[in-house]
Amino acid sequence: MVETSHKYSILLPTYNEKDNLPIIIWLIVKYMQQSKFNYEIIVIDDGSPDGTLDVAKDLQKIYGEDKIVLRPRAAKLGLGTAYIHGIKHATGDYIIILDADLSHHPKFIPEFIKLQQEHDLDIVSGTRYEGNGGVYGWDFKRKLISRGANFLSQLLLRPKASDLTGSFRLYKKHVLEKCIASCVSKGYVFQMEMLVRARQHGFSIGEVPITFVDRVYGTSKLGGTEIIQFAKNLLYLFATT
Question: Which of 241, 209, 231 minimizes the C-alpha distance to 107?
Answer: 209
- pLDDT score of 118: 97
Q: What structural domains and CATH numbers belong to the chain?
A: 7-240 (3.90.550.10)
Bridge partners, 97 (sequence order): 11, 169
Residues with Cβ < 8 Å from 227, sequence gap 6 or more? Answer: 145, 149
Cβ neighbours for 210, distance < 8 A, ≥ 6 positions apart:
104, 105, 108, 126, 127, 128, 133, 166, 168
Q: 116 near 170, Cβ under 8 Å?
A: yes
Q: Is the dihedral of CA 238, 214, 176, 131 positive or negative?
A: negative
- Mean pLDDT in runs of 10 for the chain (241 residues)? 76 93 93 95 95 95 95 86 91 95 92 97 90 73 71 66 80 94 76 86 93 62 59 68 61
Helix or strand (DSSP H, E) at 118: helix 109-119
Whole-number pLDDT of residue 2: 47
**Alpha-carbon dihedral 213, 214, 216, 219, rounded to 10 degrees:** 160
pLDDT for the residue numbered 157: 59
Which of 128, 15, 124, 5 minimizes the C-alpha distance to 72?
15
Q: What are phi and psi of 34, to 5 degrees?
A: -55, -40
How far apart CA 69 and CA 57 sit, in angstroms, is: 9
pLDDT score of 1: 39
